[in-house]
Amino acid sequence: MPIDRLRAALAQPVAAAMGGDWDLHPDPERAIPPNLTPAAVLIAVTREAEPQLLLTRRNAALRRHPGQIAFPGGRIDPEDADAVAAALREAEEEVALRRDHVELLGLLDAYETGTGYAITPVVGLVPPGLSFTPQASEVADLFHVPFAHVMDPANHQVRAGEWQGRERRFYVIRHGEHEIWGATAGILVNLSRRLT
């Protein structure tokens, strides 16, 4: 997938974007939580012929989302100038990805989660072959998956499960031993829709 195509797609709005977790299971009795916490994640794509996507597996001891596959990212702190600054700071803290190694391509629309976050995805290019150091208290593992694989709608499955006593539907994208689901998969589906 040419990087120029990704850059051009991010410059265009998309009508098919999901607003968040609620789009897969509209429920008039369940309102979107008020006062969503602003957060940002970095979708780091390697600049190479077959681009790769950087993902992390969260530490199993974390209170929120333990063991889940995620992008580097987190809450937007008061000292962060904006979502881009927050995503770059979090990537530096979590996996030692230096800010000056990231070429900003653009932002996706905010993705609202059932757990109370409004996540702004920041898309950036990074050089291939970088060496990363996971911050052990937050990141158990980091790995790459082929960008083309996670962008292919044929790999986007919808599953259902129970959460807080109600059925909840969510996206899942499998690659080898990795199962990407929830908000991370939903954000990738939104990015895929930009490209198609």
Domain-located, residue 117: yes
Is residue 190 included in any domain, yes or no? yes
What is the DSSP secondary-structure string of the chain?
--HHHHHHHHTS--TT---BGGGGS--TTSPPPSSPEEEEEEEEEE-SSS-EEEEEEE-TT-SSSTT-EE-SEEEPPTT-SSHHHHHHHHHHHHH---GGG-EEEEEPPPEE-TTSEEEEEEEEEE-TT------TTTEEEEEEEEHHHHH-GGG-EEEEEEETTEEEEEEEEEETTEEEEHHHHHHHHHHHHHH-
Residue 98's pLDDT is 96
What phi and psi values does residue 146 have, to the nearest 5 degrees?
-60, 130
Domain that holds residue 102: 3-24+35-195
Which pLDDT does position 135 carry in this prediction?
Answer: 86
Domain contains 149: yes
Does 103 map to a domain? yes
CATH of the domain at 152: 3.90.79.10
Q: What is the pLDDT of residue 47?
A: 93
Asked whether residue 186 is domain-assigned, the answer is yes
In a domain, 94, yes or no: yes
Residue 30 counted as domain residue:
no
**Does residue 29 fall inside a structural domain?**
no
pTM of the model: 0.88
Task: Provide the domain count of the chain.
Answer: 1
Output the tens digit of pLDDT for each of the chain's 196 residues. Answer: 567 888 888 887 665 566 766 666 656 555 556 688 999 999 999 999 999 999 998 775 556 655 689 999 999 999 999 999 999 999 999 999 999 999 999 999 889 887 888 999 999 999 998 999 988 888 888 999 999 999 999 999 988 766 556 667 788 999 988 899 889 999 999 999 888 7
